[in-house]
Amino acid sequence: MSYAVDLRAAPFNLDDAGVAWVESTIGSMTLEEKIGQLFINHNNSYAPEYLDEVLEKFHVGGMRYRPGPSGAVQEHIRHAQATTKIPLLIASNPEMGGAGSCDDGTFVSTHLQAGSHPDKSIARQMGQVAGVETAALGCNWAFAPIVDIHYNWRNTVISTRSFGNTPEVVVERAKEYFDGISESPTACAMKHFPGDGIDERDQHVVTSYNTLGYEEWNKTYGHVYREMIGHGVQSIMIGHIGAPELSRRFRPGLSDAEVLPATLAPELLGELLRGELGFNGLILTDASQMIGMTQAMKRRDLVPAAIAAGCDMFLFFRNPEEDFGYMLDGYRNGVITEERLQDALRRILALKASLGLHIKARESLVPPADQLAVIGSAEHRAIAAEIADKTVTLVKDTQGNLPLTPATHKKIRLYGISGGSDFTMADPLGYLDTVADELERVGFEVHIFKTAAQRKAAGEEGVNFMSVISEEATDDYSEKYDAALVFANVKGFAQEAAIRVKWSTPMAAEIPWYVTEVPTVFVSLNQPNHLIDVPMVKTAIHTHADSREAIRATVEKIQGLSEFQGTFNENVFCNSFDTRL
């Protein structure tokens, strides 16, 4: 069945001139240029000669760059747009505001944070800042909002990247985000169809599955996608997520071995997304290096198979020469039909035309350098601080440990927990310095716990985990410290199927054994599911972020100087009775 694009209908809404540009541009392209339009490159270098080669050899239709300082990012994009024959879609990942799109962008909030307060305008503010800051860089395509539903508390790839655990909150906040970012010249790619949050695993390292039946999926994820398509979202990123019951709805008798991730499943992209949901916009794959896709079939087969199945753009080369060749071969041998190639090209160029890229002077595709002043501006940081104050959440205080003040609990033992160094390459415990600064600023006396590894690295001899335990856990603990604060900043995904607390050593001295000795407060700066690993703590706070604004707001609330306003859903208790005690 054909699901040909209507260029004049939503979400493109092109006029006659726009349609004419799309058709004439396709008519002027060589076969190699047409194949190149299907690819979104991941720019691994800022060198102009690198960009020149990518554009000259592979004719890509879009790019996403490696974040760096805003000035360098903008110049990189400026060179790309000045060099390319056809204007480029320049993507960023503004899931948290401007942060992540450049090193100096503003962290506004996570998706979960924006869903953790009755004020839905938090999501709009996140979108507004994201749009302003990424547009200043020269970006025109946002790989956001995330419209997954966090049903499974064990799922940690979207635990902070989903607005919540109900379709209602996801729809409400995703629309707000979309409206906010749409105030800037930006198209959105919502993700990750057919929906993450049922399985606990991460598609970066394994294919995961949405196992809902057709009727239940329609009431939940299907409802979200229908609402957002009706709201005008221009593109949809497809997850490497299989949906066995959905696939069998359209392919009765499909065996388990034949269930493919949605990126390679024509029944999910065609009959379901194009047909039943009526999506007329652009479809792109999630990153093609993810094992959720690569475990499905050989690379030479999956590259053209994704386009043949109904994806219009292919996210990232693994090896540019090879992948370009595989796509070209797929067209030449009929895996990608002429009709499918033409339809994909029309959607790609229509998205560009809907953004006005075809009528802008080449030099105006990227703003002047002085526009970078909005990035990380005082105004945007003030928005972040206001949101942090609203969303810091008291999950429980069953022992009545709060408030803690310098007058009542002067001496603080401070523990830090991290997930270890990950692909961000940031110091995993660097946030503790900010925590200590904020505590000392208001008059606490802070004593930071050092792990055995940290002490060895500092030159101490004769240190091992047993010696640290025996030194830390002494009878005079409550004389040395008035209270214990544990700040967890467990981040990272794409390296393991799920993320849990990993202590520094066996029976580590930082595990909250001390809850029986002094008032203990556990603060999560990221993951919402830590109570499963620290059920013994009686006071738990979810701060959502490791920004100074969020940490400052938390310290104020610990002292009782301002009210906790954030809310939480049942995922925080991880389906275990002891986490509630």
Angle (CA) 260 228 341, round 5° = 50
**Distance (Å, whole) CA 141 – CA 233:** 11
Q: Alpha helix locations (H) across 119-259? A: 121-137, 167-181, 214-219, 221-230, 244-250
**Distance (Å, whole) CA 390 – CA 552:** 12
Residue 286 annotated to the active site: yes
Do 285 and 306 contact (CB within 8 A), yes or no? Answer: yes
Contacts of 380 (CB under 8 A, 6+ apart): 97, 98, 106, 108, 129, 132, 133, 374
Q: What is the DSSP string of 5-57?
A: --TTSTTT---HHHHHHHHHHHHH--HHHHHHHTEEEEE----HHHHHHHHHH
Q: What are phi and psi of 352, to 5 degrees?
A: -65, -45
**Distance (Å, whole) CA 235 – CA 12:** 10
Amino acid at 469: I
164: left (phi over 0), alpha (psi -120 to 50) or beta: left
Tokens matching residue 511: 């595990």
Amino acid at 147: V
DSSP run (H or E) holding 344: helix 338-354
- The bridge status of strand 187-193 relative to strand 235-238 is parallel
**Distance (Å, whole) CA 92 – CA 73:** 11
Annotated catalytic residue, options 286, 482, 533, 546: 286
**Distance (Å, whole) CA 358 – CA 254:** 44
Amino acid at 561: L
Amino acid at 139: C
Q: Which residues are catalytic?
A: 286
